[in-house]
Amino acid sequence: MDTHTEKQRSFNMSRIKSKWTRPEVVVHKFLIKNKIKHKMHPKINGHPDLILKGTKTAIFVNGCFWHKCKKCFKWPKSNLAYWKPKIMGNVKRDRKNYKKLRKMGFEVIILWEHDIKRLLKQ
């Protein structure tokens, strides 16, 4: 059972962004600091979060919950009828996008939210 009212849950969900998430901003700042040329949210097939300019490298910055990280994902305790198809759909779309980019000659790198958080603590 959800501990929030429908209105509270709706507000919380409306605040979740798909671009310029905190982990993406951290990666972006790291690349700028290290003078690594890149393009955030390029409009190319496969929709990576960024590409490294002058290379065929596509990078995805994946949230552990939304992309079902094998290391730390836990299913929500409520509303599984909604969450299971949603999360599994994300995973299926991710695999399809990785495959598309590889067919286009890109190296695909996946950075996980938990790894970025761990590096920030060091």
Residue 9 lies inside a defined structural domain of this protein: no
Q: What's the domain range around 84?
A: 17-121
This prediction has a pTM of: 0.84
CATH number at residue 51: 3.40.960.10
- Examine residue 83 and state whether it is found in any structural domain, yes or no: yes
Number of structural domains found in the chain: 1
Q: State how far the Cα of 100 lies from the Cα of 4, in Å rounded to an integer.
A: 39
What is the mean pLDDT of the segment spanning 70-77? 96
- Residue pair 51/38 in contact (Cβ under 8 Å)? The answer is yes
| Residue 74: pLDDT over 70 | yes
pLDDT of residue 85: 98
Rounded CA-CA distance 63/54 in Å is 26
* Cα gap 51→54, rounded to integer Å: 9
* 4 part of a folded domain: no
Burial 71-101 (b: 16+ CB within 10 A, else e): eeeeeeeeeeeeeeeebeebeeebeebbebb
Instruction: Check pLDDT > 90 for residue 45.
Output: yes
Query: 3-class SS at 3?
Result: coil
pLDDT at 1 over 80: no
